[in-house]
Amino acid sequence: MFKLYNTLTRKVEPFQPQDGNTVKMYVCGPTVYDYLHIGNLRPLIVYNALRRYMEIFKGWKVIYVQNITDIDDKIIDRAVTEGQDTVEIAAKYTDAYFKLLSALDLSPADHNPRATDYIAEMIKLIATLLDKGYAYEQDGNVYFRVTKFAQYGKLSRRSVEDLQQGARIAVNEKKENPADFTLWKASKTGEPQWDSPWGAGRPGWHSECVVMAQKFLGETIDIHAGGNDLIFPHHENEIIQAEAVTGKTFARFWLHNGMLTTRGAEMHKSHGNFVYAHQVIKKFTAETIHYFYLTRHYRKPFDYSEEALEEAKKAVWRVNNLLDNIEAEFSSSHIAKQDQTSEKSDSANSYRNNFLQRLSQLKQQYITAMDNDFGSVDAIAAVQEIVREANRFHIRATGDDRYALQDAVALIRSLGLPLSLFQRRERTEIGREEELLHLLIDLRQRLREKKDFALGDKIRQDLAQLGFILKDTPQGTTVVSTTQTDQLK
């Protein structure tokens, strides 16, 4: 049974699509005023993997919608800073965003609606809220009257009274209640604006996702997802707009990922404690970054470090190295390919049968983990156990028994597919150089463990002459290349 944690109920609940085999999924996208930082990648990678798992292993069709916020105060401020208009700023960073998605090997969304293409629909939504008494107009601004909606706060578990006392609510004499939020903002001189019944202005942030989610997915969607920093106010304010108009549940399941931190503090551009994603991609492959995120439970925060990425890089390399070696063995030796079918010797060799049975058990462990609130940590642990079993079998098996290694390779690749891990790669010259380098590092580590420091030091010295400086840290050995620092670090 497939289950997900629902922020709305604070429970792990069984999930089935409401519409047959079609999952309607909406994920909040970027505000395109700057390049994404490494923390912004977490929801992109997590929800892409969840979507792929539901498609590949559950057999569901997922309609995946992710918006682009291309008008916002931050975009206006950046346009002033860079001396361009807001359209140029939005276009520049939207293009960078899609290039980043491609570099990360992320499946494209079925729809990427942009806020400025749906201004008319937002105006219609706001007009309906006014007609129903959920909103009011003051001096060209329109506000949502939160006290009118009895269930306000049901997602974040905050009451209107809490919000009135909260430091996050700015004093605004035009509001009936400090907790009321903006639906339509009257424009200032020089700002982008659209005509409306209340005068020139632009919609507030919280209306766009309601309009675009319902445009492509209908009045009730299956999954609405984003970072847990969006629970309040953004997602809370989406709910009350949508449900005030339709009287129906807006989203059945609300999913929220934890934040990436730096030394325990949330990574945020306003804090200055961030690293741009494109800088990280220069040093680490997309596969390494996927592994880095998916070996942590998606709902929990965790700390960013390059040391952790280095460990992810090594783990990914070990798996791919095994897969490459096995496939090279079968492609270059006299052993026939899988079309000679491994079943021929199943009954004759209990060791091989036990190996295949263990593979089946570990596949089930993977599925059980993924079905339990997208437990990618335990799922990848199951894949790593398959790798260990395959390594042992690779050493001991002989003759026809070795056909079973092809089963192991196929299984690892199939389990890695939803996670964008362990797929066939083009082995470039740089890739081969890096693999050889890691082999030498692993050999040196084994020599040091056996107290053969002389030979270990010789390897270090020889690598230094080739331009690769080894640095031993408590987390392991890292490499600095004096000639290719962007390739190996």
Per residue in 21-60, pLDDT (tens digit) is: 999 999 999 999 999 999 999 999 999 999 999 999 999 9
Considering the domain boundaries, does residue 273 fall inside one? Answer: no
Task: Count the alpha carbons within 13 Å of 40 in the hemisphere toward its beta carbon.
Answer: 22
Query: d(Cα 42, Cα 280) in Å, to the nearest integer?
Result: 13
Same domain, 147 and 222: yes
Find the CATH number of the domain harbouring 154: 3.40.50.620
Range of the structural domain that residue 29 is part of: 3-257
Buried b (16+ CB within 10 A) or exposed e, 157-184: ebebeebeeeeebeeeeebebbbbbbbb
pLDDT averaged over every residue in the chain? 89
Q: How far apart are the first and last CA of the chain?
A: 43
Considering the domain boundaries, does residue 235 fall inside one? Answer: yes
DSSP string over 67-100:
-BB--SHHHHHHHHHHTS-HHHHHHHHHHHHHHH
Considering the domain boundaries, does residue 60 fall inside one? Answer: yes
Same domain, 63 and 210: yes
Q: Are 26 and 254 in contact (CB under 8 A)?
A: no
Same domain, 234 and 322: no
Nearest CA among 261, 276, 255 for reference residue 46: 255
Domains of the chain: total:
3
CA–chain centroid gap for 89, Å, is 25
Calculate mean pLDDT across residues 336-355: 61
* 465 burial level (CB within 10 Å; 0-12, 13-18, 19+): exposed
Find the CATH number of the domain harbouring 387: 1.20.120
Buried b (16+ CB within 10 A) or exposed e, 255-278: bbbbbbbbeeebbbbeeebbebbe
Same domain, 342 and 246: no
Q: Which of 47-51, 342-346, 470-474 has the highest mean pLDDT?
A: 47-51
pLDDT at 170 > cutoff 70: no
**Segment 140-154, tens digit of pLDDT:** 999 999 999 999 999
**Segment 80-96, tens digit of pLDDT:** 999 999 999 999 999 99
**Segment 406-441, tens digit of pLDDT:** 999 999 999 999 999 999 765 544 455 666 777 788
Query: d(Cα 176, Cα 195) in Å, to the nearest integer?
Result: 24
Same domain, 376 and 439: no
**Segment 432-470, tens digit of pLDDT:** 566 677 778 878 887 888 888 888 888 888 887 776 777
What local confidence, expressed as pLDDT, does residue 471 receive?
A: 72
Query: d(Cα 269, Cα 174) in Å, to the nearest integer?
Result: 31
Same domain, 347 and 440: no
Same domain, 180 and 321: no
Same domain, 63 and 165: yes
**Residue 399: both structure tokens together:** 């003759």
What local confidence, expressed as pLDDT, does residue 449 receive?
A: 80
Query: pTM (2 decimals)?
Result: 0.84
Task: Count the alpha carbons within 13 Å of 330 in the hemisphere toward its beta carbon.
Answer: 21
Query: d(Cα 169, Cα 416) in Å, to the nearest integer?
Result: 45
Same domain, 356 and 439: no
Buried b (16+ CB within 10 A) or exposed e, 282-307: ebbbbbbbbbbbbbbbbeebbebeee
HEC readout, 142-166: EEECHHHCCCCCCCCCCCHHHHHHC
Query: d(Cα 32, Cα 101) in Å, to the nearest integer?
Result: 14
Same domain, 414 and 437: no
Query: d(Cα 289, Cα 312) in Å, to the nearest integer?
Result: 8
Same domain, 22 and 128: yes
Calculate mean pLDDT across residues 327-343: 58
Apex CA 439: angle with CA 437 and CA 440, to 5°? 65
Same domain, 18 and 164: yes
Q: Are 445 and 477 in contact (CB under 8 A)?
A: yes
